[in-house]
Amino acid sequence: MKENSFGNYVTMDEQTRLKLLEGHVDVLTPAAEEQNKRLASVRCPNCGVRPCQPFIDCARPFVSGEVLPRKLLNCTNCSVTFDPDSLIQLNLGRLPTDSEKMASMFINVKRSKE
Ligand SMILES: [Zn+2]
């Protein structure tokens, strides 16, 4: 028996896990690869930096029809936390520099043309 911060738990041996998974299609690996690829392509709406650091949205982790938990992004440059789909900023982070404002404006113009 092992112990972690959640208390004691018993892990299943690998043979039993593999036997239980037999015949099931792996939907998690392709979904995780697609999610990672999509999140890596999103630029910070405040300063334009990418990639940003993904983390699980603890306030709303699961959405109907999704196999993976929702993730938010945290910019490692300006500390803005934002939704990667809507680009809505959940905090202000630090104020962008003039060059970051210009980069962000360019990104937004480019997006509106797409
Ligand atoms: Zn940023």
Rounded Cα distance, 1 and 43, in Å? 44
pLDDT, mean of residues 23-50: 93
Cα 32 to averaged position of ligand 1 atoms, centre (Å): 24
Q: Is the dihedral of CA 83, 84, 88, 92 positive or negative?
A: positive
From the CA of 52, how far away is ligand 1's center (Å)? Answer: 8
Within-domain flag for 11: no
Q: pLDDT tens digits for 8-19? A: 778 889 999 999
Domain assignment present for residue 46? The answer is: yes
Give the whole-angstrom CA distance, residue 62 versus residue 48. 27
Output the CA 79–ligand 1 centroid distance in Å.
6
Centroid of ligand 1 to alpha carbon of 83 (angstroms): 13
Count of domains for the chain = 1
Do 57 and 72 form a contact (C-beta atoms < 8 A)? yes
Pairing mode, strands 71-74 and 2-4: unpaired
Q: Per the domain annotation, does 101 fall within a domain?
A: yes
Cβ neighbours of residue 10 closer than 8 Å, sequence gap 6 or more: 1, 2
**The whole model's pTM is what?**
0.68
6 in any annotated domain = no
Which domain does 83 fall in, by range?
A: 35-114
105 in any annotated domain:
yes
Are 66 and 38 in contact by the 8 Å Cβ rule? The answer is: no
Listed in order, strand segments (DSSP E) in 35-95 are: 53-56, 71-74, 81-82
What's the pLDDT tens digit per position in 81-108? 999 999 999 988 777 778 777 776 766 5
